[in-house]
Structure 1
Amino acid sequence: MPPSRKRRSYTAEYKVEAAHRVIDTGRTIAEVARELGIDAGLLSNWVKDERRRVDAATARGDTPLDDSERAELLALRKRVAEQDKDIQFLKKASAYFAAMQHNRTGSN
């Protein structure tokens, strides 16, 4: 029995960015899929989903994000994720140092 292949997962941001490489540039799905190293059928689904999302936003009177706004949103999400990691580290460090301080004062 051959070993099972691990299924790759993609973030929502990656899917949207990949879809917009097709939508915004007019390049073919096959071309972008080859460039990204993903299955064309998978990318096709992402493109359909993104077109539906954009159409729904337009129907509600919302304007979809342009390239620069999408890039800024991705950068901000990345920054928030990094700051969340920093906060978790600082919480652990402060708990450690508080315990160390407690042990020092408690042993006197």
Structure 2
Amino acid sequence: MTEVARELGISPETLRAWVRKDDDARDKGPSSGSGRLDQAADDRDEELKRLRKLTVEQAKTIEILKKATAFFVKESDR
């Protein structure tokens, strides 16, 4: 580790601290990732939820427009 630290131009203590921090993060598993990654996942989930809701609303609007079109076609034939 000392040799690697020397090649990187850092102190061996710094390298040991980084290795310890990485080991701890790996032991805790994927849920212990950085806050930014967790926030990005939360943002993505919220956006997906919003888009699904919008899709449902648009499908309802399309159905209403289809029924209205059919109604007005029947009325215009009279």
**TM-score normalised by structure 1 residue count:** 0.41
Partners in 1 of 2:32 and 2:53 — Cα distance? 30
Encode CA deviations 1:5-36: one digit per residue, 9 max, x unaligned.
Answer: xxxxxxxxxxxxxxxxxxxxxxxxxxxxxxxx
Query: Are positions 1:93 and 2:61 aligned together?
Result: yes
1:66 Cα deviation (Å)? 1.2
Correspondence list, 1:1-108, <5 A: 55=28, 57=29, 64-107=32-75, 108=77
Task: Summarize the Cα distance change of 1:95–1:63 in structure 2 as closer, same or farther, 3 Å threshold.
Answer: closer
- Structure with more of its chain in helix, by fraction: 2
TM-score by length of 2: 0.56
Runs of 4+ in 1 over 6 A off after TM superposition: none
Pairwise CA RMSD of aligned residues? 1.9
Query: Gaps (5+ residues) in structure 1?
Result: 1-53
Q: Which is greater in Rg?
A: 2
State the aligned residue count. Answer: 50
**Identical-residue share of aligned pairs (%):** 4
